Amino acid sequence: MRRKQYLLGLAMLLLLALPVWAQAQGIPMVNVTGGPKGSQQYSLTLQVLALMTSLTLLPSFLLMMTASVRVIIVLSILRQALGTGQTPPNTVLVGLALFLTLFIMSPVLTEVYNNAVAPYMNSSMAFDKALAAAEGPLRGFMLKQTREDDIQLFMQMANKPDALTSADVPFATLVPAFITSELKSAFTIGFLIYIPFVVIDLIVSSVLMSMGMMMLSPMMISMPFKLMLFVLVDGWSLILGSLAASFAT
């Protein structure tokens, strides 16, 4: 129940930010023009249309700043290593990644809700202060998971001096550095996951070659052994537990 409140609060905070930004930029939300016989016609400006279109990108922005990137890539590599095709299906993988992301991000979401969303919804904090308070926990999470080399790379690309403290790293620079670090971590974990399954494929291929059964697909023989190995070592618990533990710093 509380997770639903966190997500609802974050969504409301983002939605409420659009009218405030539009008012600050002087964008008229609705144009009223006179029609025939004293009627009035209402039309939205192109700027408002662009703002409404940007709402479709908000889920992607939020996912790219959380643990979802690493989780979904590792699960996809795991499915590829097992050689099971579309099993588990994409819906299952995305749902599993979403709930595991909520589990990993629950301390950060709790802090954001208590420090920013709840005070703003109670009208006890201005929007700009609530936005700054919400940025703090998210920034702290991303800084812990981001490599210093990636931060320095994007700081140099932006022609900015080296950051002496974490507060000197702009948020626009931190996000791509965080995504790059997450991709590196995800592929490193995926490489370690792939090794035992590749060994099984090599053993099965060698046995089939030695028996002269070259026309038989090694993947058809090795997949049951890979599934058996994955079940015997309690693979799902091991993978998901290791993924959650990889974010502990």
Burial of 3 per CB tally in 10 Å (0-12, 13-18, 19+): middle
Contacts of 208 (CB under 8 A, 6+ apart): 214, 216, 218, 221
- For position 164, what pLDDT does the model report? 64
User: Residue 187 has what pLDDT?
Assistant: 92
Give the pLDDT of residue 28: 47
pLDDT of residue 49: 63
Find the DSSP H helices in the chain.
2-25, 46-54, 58-64, 68-82, 90-112, 118-121, 127-145, 148-157, 171-210, 218-232, 235-246
Q: Do the beta carbons of residue 22 and residue 139 sit within 8 Å?
A: no
| pLDDT of amino acid 213 | 72
Per-residue pLDDT of the chain (249 residues), as tens digits, is 555 444 445 444 444 444 444 444 444 444 445 555 555 444 555 556 666 666 677 777 777 888 888 899 999 888 888 888 778 888 888 888 888 888 888 888 888 888 877 887 787 777 778 778 877 888 888 888 888 888 888 888 877 777 667 777 787 888 888 889 999 999 999 899 888 888 888 888 888 777 777 776 777 777 888 888 888 888 888 888 888 888 876
Local structure of 249: helix, strand or coil: coil
Predicted local distance difference test score (pLDDT) of residue 46: 56
166 touches 146 (CB < 8 A): no
Q: Report how far residue 64's alpha carbon sits from residue 41's, in angstroms, rounded to the nearest whole number.
A: 40
**Burial bucket for residue 184 (CB in 10 Å: 0-12, 13-18, 19+):** middle
